[in-house]
Amino acid sequence: MVIKAQHITKIYRSGQLRVEALHDLSLAIEQGEMVAIMGPSGCGKTTLLNCLSGLDTIDEGDIYIRGQNLRDLSERERTAYRGQNMGFIFQDFNLLPVLTAVENVELPLLVTKVPSRKARRRALEMLETVGLSTRASHRPAELSGGQRQRVTIARALVNNPALIWADEPTGNLDSETAAEIMELLLQLNKEQQQTFVLVTHAESIGQQAHRIIKMRDGKILPS
Per residue in 71-107, pLDDT (tens digit) is 999 999 998 898 889 999 988 878 999 999 999 999 9
Question: What is the model's pTM?
Answer: 0.91
Give the strand order in the sheet containing 163-167.
86-90, 163-167, 195-199, 34-38, 211-216, 219-220
The mean pLDDT value for 199-205 works out to 89
The number of angstroms, rounded, from the C-alpha of 166 to the middle of its chain's C-alpha atoms is 3
Q: Which of 112, 78, 101 is nearest to 155 (CA)?
A: 101
Please give the pLDDT value at position 166. Answer: 94
Class of domain 30-56+74-220 (CATH, top level): alpha beta
Residue 195 has pLDDT above 90, yes or no: yes
pLDDT band at 21 (very low <50, low <70, confident <90, very high): very high
